[in-house]
């Protein structure tokens, strides 16, 4: 405050022209002159920038639509064109700059894919990479492990993968804040409803096709296609029993297999046995026939032999007997292996014979 | 500064843009707008397009997203009418129906809306589930499963509050996730295992039983066949015996002779091998070797 | 520089120290936080005074030196004295060194101290759970701080005046700090009196604001330090005291704003900005500008714009304006600020609160809600009746039946809107809180009389409706001016501790099924097999029967035929058959034909087995006769 210059503000300008070439420089004015020059240059730069902005603005309307995209132009907020005409195909397109037109790009791709987020067990990245289901757990943690309840109150796992195409992009993008998410919800819902209609057996093994059809039906029920402007191209359903009881489930299939195998085997055995019995019975009968024939023939032969001998006997029975006895003795003596002859004692007393008879060595059995 | 033709034009352009910004506004396809004049509600604009307005502070425009929004919150455990537990998440899709009411109620603060909606959704979900028994949700009798009806009841309840009080409409409501409390899943696994085991045992034993039956039947048939064959064979032999009887009648003519002949034959056969004879002098013909007997004439009879 | 400054600085130091200590003690006793800040300000002032003092000492030494040198120069006009100028002017160099090194570092220290203190205090005062100052002591506190303020103001003004008139710039910093301290003390006194009148919140707000200003001081010091580096150094000019804060000067003497501003600009740019026409113009116009600004402010408070969801109460001098008690959305005109005041309420918006639990923001994020885990910070247990356990009910002394009770936790959200703003704002001090209390009461009362099973399942929807009606009745009874929009029962379950047991009951149903299935499995395993075995036995018997029957009949047929053969020639048949059988039987055996008639036969039959058998197995004198006695004589 001690340095204040006392310059009066109301100084009357003196009517004198300063000598040419003689500039009165006051230190203060140079400062303000520099300031104004600086400001002037700044304005110049600003003008340039403005011009550039305007040019850029006008030409910002030209844009390209990439190959896997389509675009919709909103003029003052309303889409230009109705239905299919609203959709701009890939290529070079023109629109007015913002705020007149707004370009909304929608990626279509050929096909989008969506996978359900309910009903499948929790897989870490390793599990996914290895392709095997995770370790068995004793319980399922809500919020982490997904599963569905089947009609018989059992727990099953199911997963749906949907491939779909957006056919009405205006509907899909402008009516829904997050169309993919809404579709996901509907898919999850369809899975839950379908699972409640099938027993666990049917869903996992026996009736998989019907299960898939049920999911499709429930999706159609929520009129998903017209409502969302999409077309579902493919729906792929995977089902699985919970890891903990998988062996038991597989065991049932195996047991069914075993059952039919046992029956088939038994039937085969039965047939074989019957065949064998038939054969055997035939042979029994045949042997019976042979034996009976044999019997008759033998008797017949003996009867003929008897008839032949009969007259001789009748003629002289005693002689016949002796003759035939002697004949027999001859044969017997000849055939006998050992013959012992015990002469009589002169006094006619009896002898004592000690016969040592040993056992026959056992013959080996002929098999 | 030099007078430039560009500057006034640029200035005019800028002024025009300025005016446009002040007096016009767009409602985008995805938006609805509420126009208030001096704070008072004037009109809602539901259709997209260009509209005219007075600039602030005369009129203020509130723009709100009128797309269908998804909402789902908690996976919650609740009771059914028969006292059983079930866990469920319900998702809804809602959008603004009456922008004026919506604006008044929530000032377009989505957080506030979601908080209010959460209470309504959970109340509807748990309340409706309390009316249905577990068997209405899960049952092997397909006719009994009432899941769609449950969803419709929930939607009805929520929609009543939402449209009457919040100015929004709920277009979709559905079950997004279903489950059971963790401790019960353990028990369900046990039951499932037992159920499967039961089937396994049933099938295996059915197989065995049927096989046994088939084999037994086959055995019976076999035995029957063999027995029949034996019987028939015996019968044939019997018939042979009958025929043999005819020949036996011949022997009756002189039975003694027949007996003798047969004896002889048998003797010959029996002694054919492995026979040891111990004889003495009294046995004919060796009795002939006896001196006394030599003398004796054949006498006896 | 004059002599008197040192004495003055000492006095300043003393005053600051005393008032600072005093402020601290009083503030500690009374719990006033603004007072705490007053003592902190004093401390900063003390620091500044210290460095001021040292600076002054240096100046004085330099002055003495200069005078001596001049005297010396007058006496002896030889040039040789100034050969080593630097040597002679030691004090000057010392001062320069002091100014170059010590002052900046001290200033940095002060800045740091201010900054850290400001930061910590700011965080401290931003907390929600601060204790209010003591109301009883407040008046005493007020008196003390008023006294402090007086002392500080006196000495501060004296110092500043002295600095201006006596050209003792060095006094200015401590002086202005004293002035600032006095302002703070005044503020504290005012706030204490407010506390005494029952508005303890002002203390906190004042303290908060003061800590912000402390922070600003630190920032200003920092900026000063930085700018000092870029200042064009014009020799001969006075060096600004680095530790002097213009802000403090400003705050302490609100009158000198313009001159201070001019000085600052002058100093910073190195030339007299304040002399330019623009600046002078601004000076003239400034007053008018300020006046305009104030009037605009006042006029703008005459207009009220209410948003679509709001309503407001209009009051003139605290009383409702007749005919316009409540104003709705839109633009309204009223008398400017102190005369008419409005209170805004979000009437159309949904107000929410909940009964039965205290939320925990972290647990709110949980997506999964199971009964066995806590999902709120705290859940209140409600008493609920039970219909089932009638059989074990006990009777108390009066013969009334005592019903067993259960505990349940319920989370009940309530949404309402304000329909009658007048009632809402005027009938009760805080209608929202009252409504919450009423809701708690209604819920507890209601739950006591319901059956636990019913409320958890089937009766839920009905209960929500009934609660809504009951709560509305209560609210109307108290004329709260609210309409209940929604009451929900979003979460009803047994307390977390019990939930496991509850689930176990349900789990046991599954277990029952398991047992049944196990038994069925056993049955499925044994029964069919048993059946099959039974059948097998029957079939075997059948086969045997058939075999026997057929065999027997065939054999009897055979026998019949054999009989006819026998009858045809009985003896012959007998003999022949016997012989046939005999020959077959003995065909391969060893035959001994003993035909002796005149001997007594003794047979030694050695029936020993071949090698290796027991010797005891020998049979002697056995009457066994292997060979038939074959006789030819009959």
* Residue pair A276/B222 in contact by the 8 Å Cβ criterion: yes
Q: What is the pLDDT of residue C257?
A: 59
Average pLDDT over residues C512-539: 89
Average pLDDT over residues B93-98: 92
Phi first, then psi: give them for residue C152, nearest 5 degrees. -65, -40
Task: Give the CA-trace dihedral at C585, C586, C588, C594, to 10 degrees.
Answer: 180
pLDDT tens digits along C50-69: 888 888 888 888 888 888 88
Question: Which residues of chain A from 252 to 291 reach within 8 Å of chain B, CB to CB?
Answer: 252, 254-256, 258-263, 265-267, 269-271, 273-274, 276-278, 280-282, 284-285, 287-289, 291
* Chain centroid offset of residue C13 CA: 48
**Shortest CA distance from C558: residue in chain A:** A292
* H or E element in which residue B170 lies: strand B168-179
Query: What percent of chain B has pLDDT above 70?
Result: 90
Residue B116 located in a structural domain:
yes
> Maximum CA pair distance of chain B?
197
Total domains in chain A come to 2
Average pLDDT over residues C605-632: 53
Q: What is the pLDDT of residue A17?
A: 53
Q: What is the pLDDT of residue C83?
A: 52
d(C-alpha A73, C-alpha A93), whole Å: 10
Between A82-96, B78-92, B269-283, C87-101, the lowest mean confidence (pLDDT) is in: A82-96
A263: its two tokens: 């029956």
Residue A227 located in a structural domain:
yes
Q: Do B208 and B136 reside in the same domain of the chain? A: no
C104: its two tokens: 């900046």
Total domains in chain B come to 3
Q: Do A88 and A117 reside in the same domain of the chain? A: no
pLDDT tens digits along A320-354: 888 888 888 888 888 877 777 777 677 766 667 77
- Work out the mean pLDDT of chain C and round it to a whole number: 78
Helices (H), chain A: 27-59, 125-130, 169, 179-195, 200-201, 208-221, 224-228, 246-315, 317-335
Q: Do B102 and B153 reside in the same domain of the chain? A: yes
The answer to whether the Cβ–Cβ distance between A185 and B244 falls below 8 Å is no
Question: Which residues of chain B from 188 to 207 reach within 8 Å of chain A, CB to CB?
Answer: 188-189, 192-193, 195-197, 199-204, 206-207
Average pLDDT over residues B2-8: 64
**Shortest CA distance from B96: residue in chain A:** A175
Contact list in B for residue C571 (CB cut-off 8 A) is 255, 259
C79 against A288, higher pLDDT: A288
Residue B223 located in a structural domain:
yes
Q: Do B79 and B165 reside in the same domain of the chain? A: yes
Task: Give the CA-trace dihedral at C492, C494, C500, C504, to 10 degrees.
Answer: -90
- Work out the mean pLDDT of chain A and round it to a whole number: 79
Q: What is the pLDDT of residue C1?
A: 42
The answer to whether the Cβ–Cβ distance between A196 and B138 falls below 8 Å is yes
C392 falls in which pLDDT band (50, 70, 90)? very low
Is some CB atom of chain A closer than 8 A to the CB atom of B75? Answer: yes
- In the predicted structure, residue A192 carries a pLDDT above the cut 90: yes
- In the predicted structure, residue A50 carries a pLDDT above the cut 90: no
Listed in sequence order, the residues at least 6 apart from C318 whose beta carbon sits closer than 8 Å to its beta carbon are C341
Rounded to the nearest angstrom, the minimum Cα separation between C624 and chain B is: 17
Contact list in A for residue B65 (CB cut-off 8 A) is 177
Of A219, A241, A263, the domain-final residue: A241
pLDDT tens digits along B32-84: 888 888 777 888 888 888 888 888 768 888 889 989 999 998 899 988 998 88
d(C-alpha A66, C-alpha A107), whole Å: 9
- In the predicted structure, residue B278 carries a pLDDT above the cut 80: no
- In the predicted structure, residue C471 carries a pLDDT above the cut 90: yes
Average pLDDT over residues C480-507: 87
User: Running DSSP on this structure, what letter comes out for residue A116?
Assistant: -
Is some CB atom of chain B closer than 8 A to the CB atom of A309? Answer: yes
Task: Write the ipTM.
Answer: 0.73
Contact list in C for residue B268 (CB cut-off 8 A) is none
Listed in sequence order, the residues at least 6 apart from C337 whose beta carbon sits closer than 8 Å to its beta carbon are C298, C301
Rounded to the nearest angstrom, the minimum Cα separation between A160 and chain C is: 23
d(C-alpha C195, C-alpha C202), whole Å: 7
The answer to whether the Cβ–Cβ distance between C367 and A355 falls below 8 Å is no
At residue A25's C-alpha, the angle toward residues A8 and C227, to 5°, is 80
Is some CB atom of chain A closer than 8 A to the CB atom of B12? Answer: no
Residue B270 located in a structural domain:
no
Give the closest of C457, C460, C510 to B191, CB-based.
C510
Q: What is the pLDDT of residue A6?
A: 43
**Shortest CA distance from B249: residue in chain C:** C568
Q: What is the pLDDT of residue C368?
A: 86
- In the predicted structure, residue C451 carries a pLDDT above the cut 70: yes
Q: Do B75 and B58 reside in the same domain of the chain? A: no
Cα separation values, A336 from A339, B270, B277, Å: 7, 10, 7
User: Which chains neighbour A (Cβ–Cβ under 8 Å, 3 or more pairs)?
Assistant: B, C
Q: Do B13 and B82 reside in the same domain of the chain? A: no
Q: How many alpha carbons fall within 13 Å on the CB side of residue C8?
A: 27
Listed in sequence order, the residues at least 6 apart from B83 whose beta carbon sits closer than 8 Å to its beta carbon are C453, C456, C457, C506
- Pairing state of beta strands C599-606 and A351-358? parallel
B96 falls in which pLDDT band (50, 70, 90)? very high
Rounded to the nearest angstrom, the minimum Cα separation between A297 and chain C is: 15
Task: For residue C76, count other CB atoms closer than 10 A to its CB.
Answer: 10
Domain residue ranges of chain C, discontinuous segments joined by +: 4-75+86-229+239-252, 303-345, 352-390+402-494, 509-577
Rounded to the nearest angstrom, the minimum Cα separation between A4 and chain B is: 36
Phi first, then psi: give them for residue C76, nearest 5 degrees. -125, 115
Average pLDDT over residues B147-154: 92
Contact list in A for residue B248 (CB cut-off 8 A) is 299, 303
Q: Which domain holds residue A55?
A: 43-106
Query: What percent of chain A has pLDDT above 90?
Result: 17
Contact list in C for residue B87 (CB cut-off 8 A) is 370
Tokens 């026939």 locate to: A289
A342: its two tokens: 């015990």
Q: What is the pLDDT of residue A194?
A: 92
Q: What is the pLDDT of residue C632?
A: 42
Best B49, B68, B226, B300 residue to mutate vs chain A (most A CBs within 10 Å): B68
Burial A294-313 (b: 16+ CB within 10 A, else e): eebeebeebbeebeebbeeb
d(C-alpha C407, C-alpha C493), whole Å: 9
* Residue pair A251/B193 in contact by the 8 Å Cβ criterion: no
Question: Which residues of chain C from 201 to 230 reach within 8 Å of chain B, CB to CB?
Answer: none
- In the predicted structure, residue C147 carries a pLDDT above the cut 60: yes
Between B74-83, B272-281, C387-396, C427-436, the lowest mean confidence (pLDDT) is in: C387-396
Average pLDDT over residues B176-191: 90
Q: Of how many residues is chain C composed? A: 634
Contact list in A for residue C259 (CB cut-off 8 A) is 1
C425 falls in which pLDDT band (50, 70, 90)? confident
The answer to whether the Cβ–Cβ distance between A336 and B286 falls below 8 Å is no
Q: What is the pLDDT of residue A164?
A: 87
Q: Do B163 and B85 reside in the same domain of the chain? A: yes
Write the secondary structure of B238-284 as one string of H (helix), E (strand) and C (coil). HHHHHHHHHHHHHHCCCHHHHHHHHHHHHHHHHCCCCEEEEEECCCC
CATH code, residues C352-390+402-494: 3.30.479.30
Contact list in C for residue A310 (CB cut-off 8 A) is none
- In the predicted structure, residue C634 carries a pLDDT above the cut 50: no
Between A86-95, B159-168, B176-185, the lowest mean confidence (pLDDT) is in: A86-95
Taking alpha carbons only, the member of A261, C529, A249, A248 closest to residue B205 is C529
Contact list in A for residue B193 (CB cut-off 8 A) is 244-245, 248
C257 against A180, higher pLDDT: A180
Most confident stretch, A21-30, B154-163, B280-289, C399-408: B154-163
Residue B186 located in a structural domain:
no
The answer to whether the Cβ–Cβ distance between A343 and B87 falls below 8 Å is no
A173 against C402, higher pLDDT: A173
Listed in sequence order, the residues at least 6 apart from B163 whose beta carbon sits closer than 8 Å to its beta carbon are B97, B169
d(C-alpha A186, C-alpha A219), whole Å: 7
User: Which chains neighbour C (Cβ–Cβ under 8 Å, 3 or more pairs)?
Assistant: A, B
The answer to whether the Cβ–Cβ distance between C528 and B81 falls below 8 Å is no
The answer to whether the Cβ–Cβ distance between C558 and B75 falls below 8 Å is no
Q: What is the pLDDT of residue B301?
A: 42
Residue B153 located in a structural domain:
yes
- Pairing state of beta strands B275-280 and C591-594? parallel
Helix (H, G, I), strand (E, B) or coil at C358: strand
Q: Do A150 and A234 reside in the same domain of the chain? A: yes
Contact list in C for residue A352 (CB cut-off 8 A) is 599-602
pLDDT tens digits along C300-329: 777 777 777 888 888 887 777 777 777 878
d(C-alpha A150, C-alpha A201), whole Å: 9
pLDDT tens digits along A121-151: 887 788 778 877 788 888 888 888 889 999 9
Q: Do B174 and B205 reside in the same domain of the chain? A: no
- In the predicted structure, residue B150 carries a pLDDT above the cut 90: yes
pLDDT tens digits along A283-298: 988 998 898 888 889 8
pLDDT tens digits along B111-136: 889 999 999 999 999 999 999 999 89
Q: Do B58 and B97 reside in the same domain of the chain? A: no
Is some CB atom of chain B closer than 8 A to the CB atom of A335? Answer: yes
- In the predicted structure, residue B294 carries a pLDDT above the cut 80: no
Is some CB atom of chain B closer than 8 A to the CB atom of C575? Answer: yes
Long-range contacts of C401-405 (CB under 8 A, 24+ apart): C405/C448
Task: For residue A222, count other CB atoms closer than 10 A to its CB.
Answer: 21
Contact list in B for residue C387 (CB cut-off 8 A) is none
Q: How many alpha carbons fall within 13 Å on the CB side of residue B81?
A: 13
A155 forms beta bridges with A149
- The radius of gyration of chain B from alpha carbons, rounded to an integer in Å, stands at 58
- In the predicted structure, residue A23 carries a pLDDT above the cut 80: no
Q: Do A71 and A178 reside in the same domain of the chain? A: no
Phi first, then psi: give them for residue C88, nearest 5 degrees. -70, -50
A79 against C518, higher pLDDT: C518
CATH code, domain carrying A209 = 3.30.479.30
Q: Do B50 and B74 reside in the same domain of the chain? A: no
pLDDT tens digits along A162-179: 988 877 777 888 888 888
Rounded to the nearest angstrom, the minimum Cα separation between A318 and chain C is: 14
C181 falls in which pLDDT band (50, 70, 90)? confident
Rounded to the nearest angstrom, the minimum Cα separation between B1 and chain A is: 9
- In the predicted structure, residue C468 carries a pLDDT above the cut 90: yes
Q: What is the pLDDT of residue C28?
A: 82
The answer to whether the Cβ–Cβ distance between C504 and B219 falls below 8 Å is no
Listed in sequence order, the residues at least 6 apart from A49 whose beta carbon sits closer than 8 Å to its beta carbon are none
Q: Do A54 and A167 reside in the same domain of the chain? A: no
- In the predicted structure, residue C371 carries a pLDDT above the cut 80: yes
d(C-alpha C610, C-alpha C601), whole Å: 26
Best A2, A4, A313 residue to mutate vs chain C (most C CBs within 10 Å): A4
Q: What is the pLDDT of residue C274?
A: 57
Q: Kindly tell me the number of DSSP H helices and DSSP E strands found in chain B.
A: 8, 10
C277 against A262, higher pLDDT: A262
Q: What is the pLDDT of residue A177?
A: 87
A182: its two tokens: 């809404």
Q: What is the pLDDT of residue A161?
A: 93
* Residue pair A64/A93 in contact by the 8 Å Cβ criterion: yes
Tokens 């048949």 locate to: C573
Of B31, B46, B64, the domain-final residue: B64
Q: What is the pLDDT of residue A213?
A: 93
Average pLDDT over residues C154-170: 75
C464: its two tokens: 């929500």
Taking alpha carbons only, the member of A66, A32, B277, A326 closest to residue C272 is A32
Contact list in A for residue C632 (CB cut-off 8 A) is 325
Rounded to the nearest angstrom, the minimum Cα separation between C491 and chain B is: 8
Q: Do B98 and B171 reside in the same domain of the chain? A: yes
End-to-end, the C-alpha distance of chain C in Å comes to: 187
* Residue pair C125/C92 in contact by the 8 Å Cβ criterion: no
Helix (H, G, I), strand (E, B) or coil at A20: coil
Most confident stretch, C171-175, C428-432, C532-536: C532-536
C416 forms beta bridges with C351, C484
Of A186, A207, A241, the domain-final residue: A241
The answer to whether the Cβ–Cβ distance between A27 and C167 falls below 8 Å is no
Tell me the DSSP string of C192-238: HHHHHTT-THHHHHHHHHHHHHHHHHHHHHHHHHHHHHHS---TTSP
Q: Do A158 and A98 reside in the same domain of the chain? A: no
Is some CB atom of chain A closer than 8 A to the CB atom of B82? Answer: no
- In the predicted structure, residue C439 carries a pLDDT above the cut 80: yes
Q: Which domain holds residue B216?
A: 198-239
């Amino acid at each position: 405050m001690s340095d204040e210059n006392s310059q009066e503000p109301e100084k009357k300008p003196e009517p004198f022209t300063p000598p040419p070439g003689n500039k009165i420089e006051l230190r203060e004015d140079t400062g303000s002159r520099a300031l104004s020059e600086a400001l002037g240059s700044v304005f110049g730069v600003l003008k340039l920038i403005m011009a550039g902005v305007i040019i850029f603005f006008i030409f910002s309307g030209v844009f390209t639509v990439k190959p896997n995209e389509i675009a919709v132009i909103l003029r003052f907020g309303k889409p230009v064109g109705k239905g299919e005409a609203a959709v701009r195909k890939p290529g070079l397109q023109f629109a007015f700059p913002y705020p007149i037109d707004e370009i909304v790009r929608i990626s279509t791709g050929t096909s989008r894919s969506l996978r359900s987020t309910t009903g499948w067990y929790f897989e870490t990245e390793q599990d996914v990479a290895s392709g095997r289901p995770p370790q068995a757990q004793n319980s399922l943690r809500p919020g982490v492990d997904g599963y569905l309840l089947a009609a018989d109150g059992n727990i099953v796992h199911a997963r749906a993968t949907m491939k779909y195409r957006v056919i009405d992009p205006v509907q899909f993008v402008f009516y829904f804040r997050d169309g993919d998410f809404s579709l996901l919800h509907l898919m999850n819902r369809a899975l839950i409803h379908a699972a409640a209609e099938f027993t666990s057996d049917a869903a996992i093994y026996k009736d998989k096709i019907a299960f898939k059809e049920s999911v499709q039906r429930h999706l159609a029920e929520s009129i998903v296609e017209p409502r969302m402007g999409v077309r579902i191209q493919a729906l792929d359903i995977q089902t699985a029993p919970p890891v903990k009881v998988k062996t038991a489930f597989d065991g049932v299939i195996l047991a069914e297999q075993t059952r039919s195998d046992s029956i088939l085997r038994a039937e085969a055995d039965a047939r074989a046995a019957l065949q064998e019995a038939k054969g055997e019975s035939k042979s029994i009968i045949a042997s019976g026939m042979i034996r009976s024939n044999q019997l008759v023939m033998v008797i017949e032969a003996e009867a003929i032999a008897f008839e032949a001998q009969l007259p001789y006997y009748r003629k002289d029975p005693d002689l016949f007997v002796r003759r035939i006895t002697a004949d027999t003795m001859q044969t017997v003596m000849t055939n006998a292996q050992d013959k012992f002859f015990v002469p009589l004692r002169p006094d006619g007393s009896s002898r004592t014979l000690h016969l040592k008879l040993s056992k026959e060595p056992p013959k080996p059995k002929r098999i | 500064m030099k007078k430039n033709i560009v500057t006034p034009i640029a200035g005019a352009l800028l002024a025009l843009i300025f005016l446009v910004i002040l007096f016009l506004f767009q409602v985008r396809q995805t938006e609805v707008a509420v126009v208030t004049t001096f704070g008072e509600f004037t009109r809602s604009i539901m259709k997209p397009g260009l509209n005219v307005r007075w600039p602030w502070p005369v009129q203020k425009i509130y723009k709100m997203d009128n797309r269908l929004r998804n909402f789902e919150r908690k996976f919650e455990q609740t009771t059914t009418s028969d006292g059983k537990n079930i866990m469920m998440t319900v998702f809804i899709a809602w959008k603004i129906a009456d922008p004026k009411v919506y604006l008044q109620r929530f000032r377009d603060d989505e957080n506030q809306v979601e908080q209010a909606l959460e209470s309504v959704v959970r109340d509807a979900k748990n309340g409706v589930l309390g009316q249905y028994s577990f068997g209405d949700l899960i049952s092997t009798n397909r006719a009994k499963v009432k899941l769609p009806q449950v969803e419709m009841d929930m939607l009805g309840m929520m929609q009543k509050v939402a449209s009457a009080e919040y100015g929004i409409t709920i277009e979709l409501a559905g079950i997004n996730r279903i489950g059971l409390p963790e401790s019960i899943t353990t028990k369900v696994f046990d039951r499932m295992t037992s159920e499967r085991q039961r089937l396994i045992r049933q099938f295996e034993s059915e197989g065995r039983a049927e096989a046994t039956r088939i084999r037994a039947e086959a055995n019976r048939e076999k035995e029957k066949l063999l027995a029949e064959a034996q019987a028939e064979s015996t019968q044939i032999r019997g018939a042979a015996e009958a025929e043999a009887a005819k020949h036996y009648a011949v022997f009756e003519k002189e039975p003694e002779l027949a007996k003798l002949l047969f004896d002889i034959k048998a003797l010959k056969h029996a002694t054919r091998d492995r026979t040891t004879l111990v004889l003495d002098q009294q046995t004919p013909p060796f009795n002939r070797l006896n001196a006394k007997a030599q003398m004796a004439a054949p006498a006896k009879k | 520089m004059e002599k008197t400054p040192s004495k003055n600085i000492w006095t300043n130091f003393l005053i600051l120290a005393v008032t600072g200590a005093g402020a601290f003690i009083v503030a500690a006793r009374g719990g006033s936080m603004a007072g705490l800040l007053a003592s902190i300000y004093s401390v900063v002032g003390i620091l500044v005074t210290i460095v001021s003092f040292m600076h002054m000492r240096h100046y004085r030494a330099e002055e003495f030196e200069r005078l001596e040198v001049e005297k010396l120069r007058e006496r002896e006009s030889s040039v040789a004295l100034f050969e080593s100028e630097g040597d002679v002017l030691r004090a000057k160099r010392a001062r320069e060194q002091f100014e170059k090194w010590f002052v900046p570092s001290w200033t940095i220290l002060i800045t740091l101290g201010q900054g850290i203190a400001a930061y910590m205090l700011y965080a401290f005062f931003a907390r929600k759970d601060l204790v209010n100052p003591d109301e009883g002591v407040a008046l005493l506190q007020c008196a003390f701080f008023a006294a402090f303020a007086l002392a500080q103001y006196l000495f501060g003004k004296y110092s500043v005046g002295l600095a201006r008139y006596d050209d003792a710039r060095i006094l200015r910093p401590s002086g202005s700090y004293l002035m600032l301290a006095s302002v703070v003390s005044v503020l504290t006194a005012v706030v204490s009196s407010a506390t005494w009148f029952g508005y303890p919140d002002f203390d906190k707000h004042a303290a908060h604001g003061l800590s912000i200003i402390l922070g600003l001081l630190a920032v200003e010091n920092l900026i000063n330090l930085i700018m000092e580096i870029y200042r064009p150094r014009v020799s001969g000019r006075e060096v600004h005291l680095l530790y002097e804060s213009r802000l403090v000067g400003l705050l302490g003497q609100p009158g000198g704003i313009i001159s201070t501003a001019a000085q600052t600009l002058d100093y910073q740019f190195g030339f007299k900005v304040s002399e330019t026409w623009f600046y002078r113009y601004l000076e003239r116009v400034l007053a008018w500008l300020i006046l305009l600004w104030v009037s605009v402010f006042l006029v703008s408070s005459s207009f009220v714009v209410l948003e679509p969801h709001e309503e407001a109460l209009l009051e003139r001098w605290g009383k409702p304006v007749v005919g316009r008690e409540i104003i709705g959305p839109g633009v309204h005109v009223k008398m400017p600020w102190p005369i008419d005041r409005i209170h805004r309420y979000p009437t159309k918006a949904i107000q929410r609160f909940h009964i039965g639990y205290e939320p925990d923001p972290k647990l709110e994020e949980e997506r999964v809600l199971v009964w066995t885990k806590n999902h709120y910070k705290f859940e209140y247990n409600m008493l609920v009746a039970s219909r089932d356990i009638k059989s074990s009910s006990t009777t108390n002394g009066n013969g009334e039946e005592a019903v067993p009770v259960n505990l349940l936790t319920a989370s009940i959200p309530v949404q309402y809107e304000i329909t009658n703003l007048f009632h809402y704002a005027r009938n009760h001090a805080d209608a929202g809180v009252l409504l919450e209390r009423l809701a708690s009461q209604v819920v507890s009362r209601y739950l006591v009389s319901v059956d636990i099973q019913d409320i958890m399942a089937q009766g839920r929807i009905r209960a929500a409706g009934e609660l809504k009606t009951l709560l509305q009745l209560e609210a109307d009874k108290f004329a709260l001016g609210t309409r209940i929009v929604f009451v929900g029962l979003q979460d009803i379950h047994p307390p977390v501790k019990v939930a496991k047991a509850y689930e176990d009951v349900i789990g046991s149903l599954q277990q029952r099924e398991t047992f049944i299935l196990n038994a069925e499995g056993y049955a499925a395993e044994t029964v069919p097999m048993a059946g099959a075995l039974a059948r097998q036995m029957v079939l075997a018997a059948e086969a045997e029967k058939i075999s026997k029957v057929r065999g027997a009949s065939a054999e009897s047929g055979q026998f019949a035929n054999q009989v006819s053969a026998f009858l045809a020639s009985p003896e012959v048949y007998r003999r022949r058959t016997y012989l046939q059988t005999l020959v077959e039987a003995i065909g391969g055996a060893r035959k001994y034909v003993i035909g002796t008639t005149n001997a007594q036969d003794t047979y030694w039959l050695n029936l020993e087995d071949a090698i290796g058998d027991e010797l005891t197995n020998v049979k002697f004198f056995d009457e066994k006769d292997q060979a038939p006695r074959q006789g030819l004589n009959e």
